[in-house]
Amino acid sequence: DIGDIIRGKDLYIGNRKEKEKVKLQKNLKSIFKKIYDALPDEKKLRYNGDRQNYYKLREDWWNANRQQVWKAMTCNADNDAFYFRPTCGKGTWTNEKCQCVTHDVPTYLDYVPQFLR
């Protein structure tokens, strides 16, 4: 899913699209290098030793922005659209446009390793 792709953890199984995966990861590295370069020096310290692929920065970026990504992905959903299973808070359904009432992102599968989904 998109979170795995951003964080560099996507399994992307299948050799048919291997070139596309390599190109995508190269583009993501370039994007996260620009983000890293724009950070104040004291923030860069957190990412020492992570400049090859920026995995820590990607993880932090995803945690900070996933709610906005979810909103963007579902902004055109029908008002009565809901997630395929109860995922909000204590197992309640999404309300409208696949959004939880609290506007939290449904995270039922967010951190389940991809090969187990």
Grouped pLDDT means (10 residues each) for the chain, 117 residues: 80 71 91 96 92 92 88 70 63 65 62 56
pLDDT score of 81: 65
* Residue 88 burial (10 A CB sphere; 0-12, 13-18, 19+): buried
pTM of the model: 0.71
Q: How many CA atoms lie within 13 A of 78 on its CB side?
A: 4
pLDDT score of 113: 58
pLDDT score of 42: 95
pLDDT score of 46: 94
